[in-house]
């Protein structure tokens, strides 16, 4: 590990030298590439330097303790053990920083929510999830751009598709993919019985143009009139867009904007994200077995969380964590749960599971 850290530090110093030279400034594309590479290693180098200084300080303290006796020796030994504890913490931090980064973490993402089993109750819960993620995005100043919102007459949502833009958007939300289960008494239930309903959530990293090539021969673009729940918000012109990708069978619909062009742009953005996820998932099949233990696998058939309203309890089944503040959680206070999921994934990766 120390050899690798030394190589990273050497490269960091080379990058710093290159960036301060006039030569790099003559090619802005190269300059941005070098600056990005240096920024990615800056934290590792900073922690490594503290680690190395702490190691040297610890060794010097032990040498001094060997020359002393009595109370002074005890004080130096106390300092030595404090430094040793700090060194162990820095070593763990360096191991985490050296773990391979998820190439998608810095990307924007597409969030898809669909009502599952439970009829209208599932649709009502899907709308609450929609509001929950909207609240979370507002707290983190992520941009929320609705692509499609298929509402029901009673105020529920059959399907919602949203593009989310912001630093670490995918990194934070990727743990939300899966089946979300709700247990509560529906307003229409006269006997007071608890019903169980489900919704599925998918979080897809945004694809760059160079990564997904869409051949025009492989798609069909249909235009139609947009409409809302129960025939509301009927548009008299054909501004809604439906794109069908024949090789995969993926269909994307967008009718949120009044502009046909804007709907088309949004639909293609979602299509690229779905295709990127589709082809990545197939390519990752060989390593799927080794990833099953990770909390962030993104398996959308897996039940990941239960929302128990009578007990105001939210339980994440992947890590066995329960929180007891339903109102706060549904308003978008998800960071406690997401941080716990991220920590657990890091622990599993460090242990090699």
Report DSSP letters for 2-63, one per residue.
Answer: HHHHHHHHHHHHHHHHHHTSHHHHT-HHHHHHHHHHHHHHHHHHHHHHHHHHHHHHHHHHHH
pLDDT in tens, 64-76: 998 888 899 999 9
My answer on whether 164 and 88 are in the same domain is no
3-state secondary structure of 273: helix
CATH number at residue 196: 3.30.70.1660
Q: How confident is the model at residue 306 (pLDDT cuts 50, 70, 90)?
A: very high
Closest to 114 measured CA to CA, from 152, 166, 142:
152
My answer on whether 227 and 275 are in the same domain is yes
My answer on whether 206 and 71 are in the same domain is no
Count of structural domains within the chain: 2
Q: CA-to-CA distance for 217 and 199, rounded, in angstroms?
A: 34
* Range of the structural domain that residue 230 is part of: 109-282+301-347
> Is residue 294 a part of any domain in this protein?
no
Closest to 307 measured CA to CA, from 183, 201, 187:
183
Task: List the single range of 87-101, 147-161, 162-176, 246-260 with lowest mean pLDDT.
Answer: 246-260
Residues 6+ apart with CB under 8 A from 115: 122, 123, 125, 126, 156, 157, 158, 159, 197, 199
> Is residue 84 a part of any domain in this protein?
yes
Last residue of a domain, one of 75, 98, 121: 98
Closest to 186 measured CA to CA, from 172, 174, 197, 175:
197
| DSSP conformation class of 191 | S
Q: CA-to-CA distance for 41 and 18, rounded, in angstroms?
A: 15
My answer on whether 186 and 80 are in the same domain is no
> Is residue 296 a part of any domain in this protein?
no
pLDDT in tens, 149-172: 999 988 899 999 999 999 999 999
Is the confidence at residue 238, as pLDDT, over 80? no
Last residue of a domain, one of 46, 64, 98: 98
Is the confidence at residue 290, as pLDDT, over 60? no
Which tokens belong to 338? Answer: 């997401």
Q: What percent of the chain has pLDDT over 90?
A: 51
My answer on whether 93 and 133 are in the same domain is no
Closest to 256 measured CA to CA, from 241, 278, 274, 270:
241
My answer on whether 220 and 269 are in the same domain is yes
pLDDT value for 7: 92
Last residue of a domain, one of 49, 78, 98: 98
My answer on whether 202 and 314 are in the same domain is yes
> Is residue 152 a part of any domain in this protein?
yes
Asked if 42 and 12 count as a contact pair (C-beta separation under 8 A), the reply is yes
pLDDT value for 288: 47
3-state secondary structure of 115: strand
Distances (CA, A) of 138 to 111, 112, 131, 261: 15, 17, 10, 27
Q: CA-to-CA distance for 327 and 58, rounded, in angstroms?
A: 49
My answer on whether 78 and 139 are in the same domain is no
Which tokens belong to 323? Answer: 């929180």
CA angle in degrees (0–180, nearest 5) for 136-142-147: 95
Which tokens belong to 188? Answer: 């229409």
My answer on whether 114 and 76 are in the same domain is no
My answer on whether 94 and 21 are in the same domain is yes
My answer on whether 228 and 123 are in the same domain is yes
CA gyration radius, the chain: 26
Residues 6+ apart with CB under 8 A from 14: none
Average confidence (pLDDT) over 238-266: 86
pLDDT value for 232: 45
Average confidence (pLDDT) over 88-104: 88
3-state secondary structure of 64: helix
pLDDT value for 237: 54
- Which is more confidently placed, 313 or 213? 313
> Is residue 295 a part of any domain in this protein?
no
Asked if 232 and 242 count as a contact pair (C-beta separation under 8 A), the reply is no
Closest to 180 measured CA to CA, from 325, 311, 330:
330
> Is residue 289 a part of any domain in this protein?
no
Average confidence (pLDDT) over 308-336: 95
Query: Which residue, chain included where needed, has tokens 């070098």?
Result: 34
pLDDT in tens, 211-227: 788 888 988 988 887 66
My answer on whether 59 and 32 are in the same domain is yes
> Is residue 135 a part of any domain in this protein?
yes
Q: How many residues does the chain have?
A: 353
CA angle in degrees (0–180, nearest 5) for 65-70-71: 85
pLDDT value for 285: 55
Query: Which residue, chain included where needed, has tokens 């549904």?
Result: 330
């Amino acid at each position: 590990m120390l050899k690798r850290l030394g190589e990273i530090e050497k490269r960091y110093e080379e990058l710093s030298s290159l960036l301060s030279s006039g030569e790099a400034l003559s090619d802005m594309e190269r300059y941005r590439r070098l600056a990005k590479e240096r920024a990615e290693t800056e934290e590792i180098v900073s922690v490594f330097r503290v680690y190395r200084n702490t190691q040297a300080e610890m060794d010097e303290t032990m040498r001094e303790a060997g020359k002393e006796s009595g109370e002074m020796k005890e004080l130096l030994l106390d300092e030595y053990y404090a430094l040793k504890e700090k060194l162990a913490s820095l070593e763990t931090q360096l191991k985490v920083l050296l773990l391979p980064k998820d190439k998608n973490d810095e990307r924007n993402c597409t969030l898809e929510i669909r009502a599952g089993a439970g009829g209208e109750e599932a649709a009502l819960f899907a709308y609450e999830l929609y509001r929950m993620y909207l609240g979370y995005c507002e707290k983190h100043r992520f941009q929320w751009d609705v692509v499609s919102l298929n509402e029901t007459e009673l105020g529920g949502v059959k399907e919602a598709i949203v593009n989310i833009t912001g630093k670490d958007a995918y990194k934070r939300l990727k743990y939300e993919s899966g089946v979300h289960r709700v247990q509560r008494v529906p307003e229409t239930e006269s006997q007071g019985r608890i019903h169980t309903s489900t919704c599925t959530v998918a979080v897809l990293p945004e694809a760059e143009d160079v990564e997904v090539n869409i051949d025009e021969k492989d798609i069909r673009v249909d235009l139609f009139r947009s409409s809302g729940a129960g025939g509301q918000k009927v548009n008299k012109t054909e501004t809604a867009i439906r794109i069908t990708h024949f090789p995969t069978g993926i269909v994307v619909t967008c009718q949120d904007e009044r502009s046909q062009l804007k709907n088309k742009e949004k639909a293609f953005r979602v299509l690229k994200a779905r295709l990127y996820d589709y082809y990545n998932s197939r390519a990752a099949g060989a390593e799927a077995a080794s990833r099953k233990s990770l909390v962030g696998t993104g398996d959308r058939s897996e039940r990941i969380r239960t929302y128990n309203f009578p007990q105001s309890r939210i339980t994440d089944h992947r890590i066995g964590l329960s929180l007891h503040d339903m109102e706060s959680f549904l308003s978008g206070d998800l960071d406690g749960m997401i941080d716990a999921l991220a920590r657990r994934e890091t622990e599993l990766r460090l242990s090699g599971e």
